Amino acid sequence: MTTTAYDKQTASELIAGFDARPEMLVQILHAFMQRFGWISEAAIRQLATELNLSRAEVHGVVSYYHDFRTSPPGRHIVKVCQAEACQAMGSRELSSHAAKALGVEMHGRSDDVTLEPVYCLGNCACSPAIMVDGKTYGRVSTERFDEIVATLQEPLR
């Protein structure tokens, strides 16, 4: 995932891409996430100004949704599905394995990686499932987890 540091000009262009419509706030935040990797306090201030919303309103949306993070993630983002179909196929064990293999706790991060739970990737006939940098993998045994993690371009620890 290639993201760039927040800058006001780029942010303005992204907002303009949605005609600065306040009802597009969730979509604009997705665009910010894709470009900057996270939502900074400066970004929230700018969004409030340019969309004519209060900072509280923008903050309310940012903090409500799991997708929007307010601190920078690790270089890679690994999500392990924790929902029932994956539980039935050992996702609890896979989660512990992932934490051990990546050296971070669930919800934790290192420079290399952020490890997060996700509640359903819609891949429930290929459980357990994980998502690495936006790509979904199915039938993930602990061995396959190690293989997937090992093939990332920037190697994890």
Partner 1 sequence: MTATRIYVPRETAAVSVGADDVAVAIARQAKESGDRVQLIRNGSWGATWLEPLVEVEVNGKRIAYGNVAAKDVPGLFAAGLLSGGEHEKRIGPTDEIPYLVNQDRWTFRRCGLIEPLSIDDYRAHRGFAALEKAFEDGPAAVLEAVRDSGLRGRGGAGFPTGIKWQTVADTEADQKYITCNADEGDSGTFSDRILMESDPFGLLEGMTIAGFAVGASRGYIYLRSEYPLTHKILSKALDSARDAGWLGSDIRGSGFDFDIELHLGAGSYVCGEETAMLESLEGKPGIVRYKPPLPAIAGLFEKPTVVNNVVTLASVPDIVNRGADQYAAYGVNRSKGTLAFQLAGNIKRGGLVEKAFGLTLRELVEDWGGGTATGRPIKAAQVGGPLGAYIPAEQFDVPLDYEAFIEMGAMIGHGGIVVFDDTADMAQQARFAMEFCAIESCGKCTPCRIGSTRGVEVIDRMVAGIDRDDNYDLLIELCDTMEDASLCAMGGMTPYPVRSVLKYFSEDFAPSTGVKQ
Residues that bind partner 1 (CB under 8 A): 21-27, 29-30, 57, 60-61, 64-68, 83-89, 118-127, 129, 131, 134-139
Q: d(Cα 83, Cα 117) in Å, to the nearest integer?
A: 9
Pick the closer one to partner 1 by CB: 93 or 103. 93
Which tokens belong to 133? Answer: 């940098």
> What is the DSSP secondary structure assignment for residue 13, as one 8-state letter?
H
Which tokens belong to 15? Answer: 């907002």
Query: Least distance from C-beta 87 to partner 1, angstroms?
Result: 7
Pick the closer one to partner 1 by CB: 66 or 111. 66
Query: Least distance from C-beta 136 to partner 1, angstroms?
Result: 5
Contact 40, 3 (CB under 8 A): no
Query: Least distance from C-beta 89 to partner 1, angstroms?
Result: 6
Pick the closer one to partner 1 by CB: 64 or 103. 64
Q: d(Cα 129, Cα 47) in Å, to the nearest integer?
A: 35
122 residue type, one letter:
G
Query: Least distance from C-beta 116 to partner 1, angstroms?
Result: 10
